[in-house]
Structure 1
Amino acid sequence: MTTPAYVIRPAGPADIESFKQLREIAGAGFTSLMLDDAAMAAKLALSEASFASAAATPGTERYFMALEHVESGVLAGCCGVKATIGATPPFFNFRVIREAQSSRVVERRFDMDILIGVNDFTGCTEVGSLFVRPEHRAAGVGRALAQSRYMLMAAQRERFHDQVVSELRGVVSADGVSPFWEAVGRHFFKMDFSEADKLSATTDNQFILDLMPQHPIYVNLLPESARAVIGQCHKDGEGARRLLEWEGFSFGSVVDIFDGGPLMTAPRDHIRTVREAKRVRLAAHADFASPRRALIAAPAIKGFRCTPVRAEIAGEIARVSPAALKALRLEDGQDALAWVDNEG
């Protein structure tokens, strides 16, 4: 459709009631939303300030975005980008290392996987917080929401680091039990997974530095239930993983220290949407001969908005409907950023 059904826009303090509802729907383990009301308000205020910032380099900005259903105004989902991670708070993970064990005496050789605590991703940019309400998970909506984060990067690359990471939610049951946490974290932190998850979202994570394992952990010593989920994502995150892989992210044997979920990484300029997005000039159009699925976005972080819509892109001109211009709060003849789906 040439008329947009959704727009992705900056989230701010005015959205707090909608995000409280989203928090209840997302459930245990979705750290980005597992905040009390005060922490949620602070998160939204920081997002508003980040979008208004005139920063020329990546700093402490936290860009949190809302997926809004245009017709109803309902907040249907969210996503986010952290300009810099690893400084405050620290960004801890387990790296899975494979060691060879051998003995000529007994003619045995085998490999052993071990978990080592690391803080290797200081000074990277992180994308995450991807969530869509179940009733809005129509074809292409989650993908467009995920891509909006890379359109934000493409708008002003200098405000993001060269390396981008994404943590995927690990395997957690409906009642909030993580097999990996029960086998590893609980023994060191002496608390439930939900409490640790909440602390990681609302504190400076000093408790992780204080209590995390200081020595390698042999994976073979863990129960099968824990071994089976190392590097695996929650069933609701399988689509997000496929989207990351489509963009060029890969899994490098680094996992979350709480739930064992995978950490995906990619060089910023190798991310497909960042690489393929281009500057265009908008032209209001009512009739389309052969429109293609596209993402059209404002060309800067301040005032950023992005919408999935069908458009005609010819050279440096993007023909879009007046409704698309309205959703973007842009006018005929203004510059924008466009990504075109050449696969369909």
Structure 2
Amino acid sequence: MSFRLRAARADDLEHLYEMAKLTGGGFTNLPADRKALTAKLGRAESAFARQEDSVEDEQFVLVLENAETGAVRGTCQLMSKVGEQWPFYSYRLNTLTQHSKELDRTVRAELLSLVTDLEGSSEVGGLFLHPNERAGGLGLLLARSRYLFVAMHRARFADRILAELRGIIDERGGSPFWDGVAGRFFGMTFQEADYFNAINGNQFIADLMPKHPVYVAMLGKSAREAIGVPHPSGRAAMRMLENENFEAEGYVDIFDGGPTMTARTDNVKSIAEARECRVASTSLEGGEKALLATGKLAGFRASYGKRELHEDGSMALDAQAAELLGVGEGDTVWSVAR
């Protein structure tokens, strides 16, 4: 396989723009807007350039590159500390239990409460793979490479990490959840609100959204059924997150009602199991399949390959992976089993 992950550069703008036009809406981290994407790449460049090991409000953008052609066919992002530029809002789904002694009746009502519980967390997001490349495990490469990046730069990320999954979007590109909840207060379609959020942030939600809890029973059926449900295209991503020890803890997106998954950063499987080893050989022919990464910050590269771990802490790699990563004997490579 000739694909590898690398840090995004300013000259990746057109590649990202063309992919953004294919997302179909509800994809805030990859807006089809050149100005917004240019700003995102500028933030990423600053984040890759900063050398201090501390948790700051930064955004890292990675791209999936065909090493043979140079074509960019996917992207993913990491946000090291959300809720700094503007509040990070979520709805929290909880239950209120009330009892009437006179009626001898107990009533349990589900509520959606607007919260900022997840502020200060790190976030993995912005994962998009070109439709023509959705085979051969490239989506998994995109997703899990982010965790190796975190493991390799652990001091730059918070102790809790989250992932937002896109919610239900109908055939018109609208959101039943938005129409049933927030859309009633804003006079904006989901597409308008989603685009505004991608460009300007969601402070307008705080400015105009009622702060009182929303009783789920008072919503229409389509809005109720969308709460905490991922878009059909995101079901595989949800399974991958669960395999990495992320959990759904009742947080949902304020726009489309999609689930927000959370985990303790050090409990994420690919982070906990990542190993740093010195390369002893680059001519391995057997070995186990693995995800491999090397390089610091802007020099980060990741790919699939094969590894053989040695008792002395070194490892052997196959030749193709070594070439994709640009490493040789004596270099350092991080890895996790595929």
TM range (shorter): over 0.9
Task: Pick from 169, 177, 180 the counterpart of residue 180 of structure 1.
Answer: 177
Give the C-alpha shift of residue 120 in structure 1: 1.0
Identity, in percent, stands at 37
Would you say the 8 A contact 1:296–1:338 is kept in 2? Answer: yes
- Find the counterpart in structure 1 of residue 335 from structure 2: 338
Give the C-alpha shift of residue 206 in structure 1: 2.3
Deviates more, 1:40-49 or 1:246-255: 40-49
- Find the counterpart in structure 1 of residue 26 from structure 2: 29
1:85-135 CA distances to partner (integer Å, 9 max, x unpaired)?
012121101111101122232232231101110011111101111111122
Task: Specify the code of the residue in structure 2 equivalent to 1:192.
Answer: T
Q: How many residues get paired?
A: 337
- Find the counterpart in structure 2 of residue 132 from structure 1: 129
Give the C-alpha shift of residue 29 in structure 1: 0.8
Distance 2:289 2:171 in 1: 36
The answer on 1:94 being equivalent to 2:58 is no
Deviates more, 1:93-102 or 1:240-249: 93-102
Distance 1:302 1:40 in 2: 18
Task: Pick from 60, 77, 81 the counterpart of residue 78 of structure 2.
Answer: 81
Distance 1:257 1:328 in 2: 40
Give the C-alpha shift of residue 310 in structure 1: 2.2
Q: Which runs of structure 2 are paired with 1:1-344 in the superposition (5 Å)? A: 4-288=1-285, 290-315=286-311, 316-341=313-338
Task: Specify the code of the residue in structure 2 equivalent to 1:46.
Answer: R
Task: Specify the code of the residue in structure 1 equivalent to 2:310.
Answer: A
1:145-172 CA distances to partner (integer Å, 9 max, x unpaired)?
1111110010021110000011111111
Task: Specify the code of the residue in structure 2 equivalent to 1:306.
Answer: A
1:304-336 CA distances to partner (integer Å, 9 max, x unpaired)?
111111222323222223332232232321011
- TM-score between both structures, scaled by the size of structure 2: 0.96
- TM-score between both structures, scaled by the size of structure 1: 0.94
Distance 2:39 2:314 in 1: 40
RMSD: 1.5
Deviates more, 1:104-113 or 1:147-156: 104-113
Distance 1:57 1:212 in 2: 34
Distance 1:11 1:213 in 2: 39
Give the C-alpha shift of residue 287 in structure 1: 4.5
Give the C-alpha shift of residue 30 in structure 1: 1.1
Would you say the 8 A contact 1:28–1:174 is kept in 2? Answer: no
- SS of 2:18's equivalent in the other structure is helix
Would you say the 8 A contact 1:90–1:204 is kept in 2? Answer: no
Contiguous gaps of at least 5 residues in structure 2: none
Distance 1:255 1:198 in 2: 19
Deviates more, 1:203-212 or 1:188-197: 203-212
Distance 2:176 2:310 in 1: 52
Distance 2:61 2:170 in 1: 26
Task: Specify the code of the residue in structure 1 equivalent to 2:235.
Answer: E
Distance 1:329 1:31 in 2: 33
Summarize the Cα distance change of 1:278–1:127 in structure 2 as closer, same or farther, 3 Å threshold. same
1:25-76 CA distances to partner (integer Å, 9 max, x unpaired)?
1111111112411111111121122112112111122001101122332211
- SS of 2:114's equivalent in the other structure is strand
- SS of 2:226's equivalent in the other structure is coil
Would you say the 8 A contact 2:284–2:317 is kept in 1? Answer: no
Distance 2:81 2:274 in 1: 22
Task: Specify the code of the residue in structure 2 equivalent to 1:132.
Answer: L
Task: Specify the code of the residue in structure 2 equivalent to 1:173.
Answer: D
Task: Specify the code of the residue in structure 2 equivalent to 1:80.
Answer: Q
Contiguous gaps of at least 5 residues in structure 1: none
Would you say the 8 A contact 1:325–1:331 is kept in 2? Answer: yes
1:219-260 CA distances to partner (integer Å, 9 max, x unpaired)?
000011110010001111111111110000000001111100
Distance 2:335 2:284 in 1: 19
Would you say the 8 A contact 1:35–1:202 is kept in 2? Answer: no
